[in-house]
Chain A
Amino acid sequence: MSQASTSRIGWASVTPALLWTLVFFVVPFVAMAVMSLTQKEGGFSLAAYAQFFQNPSYWRALVNSLEVTLIVTALSVILAYPFAWILAFIVPERWQRLALMLAVLPFWTSYVVRSYSWLLVLAEKGVVNSTLVNLGLLSEPVQIANTRAATVIGFVHFFVMLLTLTIFANLKQLSPNYRKAATDLGASGFQTFIHVILPLTLPGIMVGAFLTFVLAIGDYITPQILGGNNELLMPQLIMMQIGRRGDFASASALSLILMAVVTLAYLACARWLKIERA
């Protein structure tokens, strides 16, 4: 086969995917950028951006979003790592598949419904409060539903599962020798963990953490259902621009600002996020 025809086949196989990405991702992105700079009556304007930087309640949405997302990411990693460790090394090999399946199972219901069921669980007359009050562990119900805590719980619920999966996969890829070293060394096991295992699983953690960050910071449903509108996060502010005002310039500008933040996060962990062939 000639060199020319080889590369023709190569191009033919990659072109559909490239075209799709170009037409339905890059071009819309440019359209959105143009839209964010357009006034309602037409003509160039920076008003949509000016609004964000001048209006403290818009700023606040970004700060809220960052706070919530960072808390969620940190909490999820902290909760998921030991869980993945237990699943990978303490649960017997032949039960691991089942254990993982079980951990994923509850996420097979629609995610809109999942947030809603957290609301039922956390409500003042919900399951948690009424059980604790009936058992005498609480004298009166605690207010969790309709607060930032509820939003965080709803997010962490999902991302613990996601991170457990990625960290589990990573731990399983470690050479058994490391594991042996870690378990055999007993008292100094913790040091082995810090100096050997943790650095080796760091790429997996970073991939999971980054995914968590991207998915959480762009999610509308969870804060909208659980947060009780006691504060606004960026996606809520963006949807408000469309839903209440039909203000696409502003929604586009806010989306781009959100995306810039995600890009910064990406650059921060870029060296762990390379997709390589086996």
Chain B
Amino acid sequence: MTINRLTRRLFGASVAAMALMGSYAAASAADLNALVWCDHSDPNLLKPFEDATGIKVNVKEFEGTGAGLAIVEQSQPGDWDVMVIDTVDVRRGVERNLFDALPEDQLPVAEIFPEVLMDQHSKFDGKRYGITEKFGYNTIGFNKSKVEAADMETLGVLTNDKYKGRIAIYDYYLPVMGLAAMAIGKKTSELTEADLPAIKEVLQKMKANAKALTDVVASQTALATGEADILIGGGEWVTAGIAKENPDLDFSIPKEGAVLWSQSLAMFKDSKNKDNALKFIQYIMSPEGQARLATSSCYWGMPASKAAALDADQKKILRFDEQPEFLKRAQGYPAPSEDLDKKMQDLWTAMIQGQ
């Protein structure tokens, strides 16, 4: 091939490919665009829905409500249809006028564990803006064969020197600072700036004993590979998925309690596919959707619906039957104001940097 023909071909190919890339960008008008956490990206969860309805689900993962809302703010209105959000943060979306009310009569609200529905965070002016789909605990995850069970029954383990170098900390500031607050007898729902110095002390001691701060997967890796024996902030979401491979992995709800996490689905006001969005939410809340979401490959968690189609083994791993007792002792996720949130993040950064 001569050079000029090659050049021309290359150029032609570039133009064609650019057009192709452009069309990618423009596609997805009739699809469903979902802003989600990693558990919603599991093909085992999405594929049955796509096959049954012919709706293609495009997912974008994010971590943290602040980042999720930032993504929405950068997008054009109508770019997004549904969003996964911490139940305690549904308010932030409503305040920004992002979400639409959900039709309660078309959703299985009655089957949801009442403690995780959290109407005070998800219902405004009598309308529901978020529906809880999954929950669990940020508590103490551990390897039974390596630690003393009694030590795991109290939050004192956060700063217990006995386990120095055997501890990993889940790298998310809200739940772990919630645990630190509970360890010194504070309520997660009543945190103020004045509590931060005391929390900081706990965090510093905790960091001194810890080997690493780990994200979701690194947390699983650390426990599974024996890199760490205790995961602060862990729970069923880290141990349940790998329980089959390593049955020694377990979690406890200490006497002081644990932090309850709860994730909700919300629908965008500007969505152009509200019918599809509602179908998707209905699918996730259905017994099959709930079971698949609860056992998603990224992390397991308790289904919000009591009707979830889980088998006996799965229920046992999730400790389904002990939930009423757990829920009694659990406290909600801290839901700081934006100003306090920033201060908490700065405190977290300072802890990582050893300051």
Contact = CB atoms under 8 A, between A and B. Distances in A.
Interface of A: 55-58, 60-61, 64, 119, 123-126, 143, 145-146, 228-232, 237, 240, 242-248
Contacts of A247: 66, 70
Contacts of A244: 63-64, 66-67, 345
A247 B66 CA distance: 9
Interface in B67-90: 67, 69-71, 73
A189 B345 CA distance: 58
Contact of A230 (B66, B73, B212): B212
Contacts of A125: 225-227
Contacts of B214: 228-229
B120 interface: no
Contacts of A123: 221, 225, 227
Given A57-B353, A230-B212, 13 more contacts: A55-B350, A57-B346, A60-B354, A60-B355, A61-B353, A143-B165, A145-B227, A146-B227, A228-B214, A229-B213, A244-B63, A245-B345, A247-B70
Interface of B: 62-64, 66-67, 69-71, 73, 165, 171, 211-215, 218, 221, 225-227, 342, 345-346, 349-350, 352-355
B211 A146 contact: yes
A145 B226 CA distance: 12
B353 A231 contact: yes
A231 B226 contact: no
A56 B352 contact: no
A143 B228 CA distance: 11
A146 B218 CA distance: 10
Interface centre among A64, A125, A246 (most CB of B within 10 A): A246
Contact of B67 (A146, A232, A242): A242
A246 B213 contact: no
A243 B65 CA distance: 10
B18 to A, nearest CB: 14
B303 to A, nearest CB: 27
A206 B14 CA distance: 36
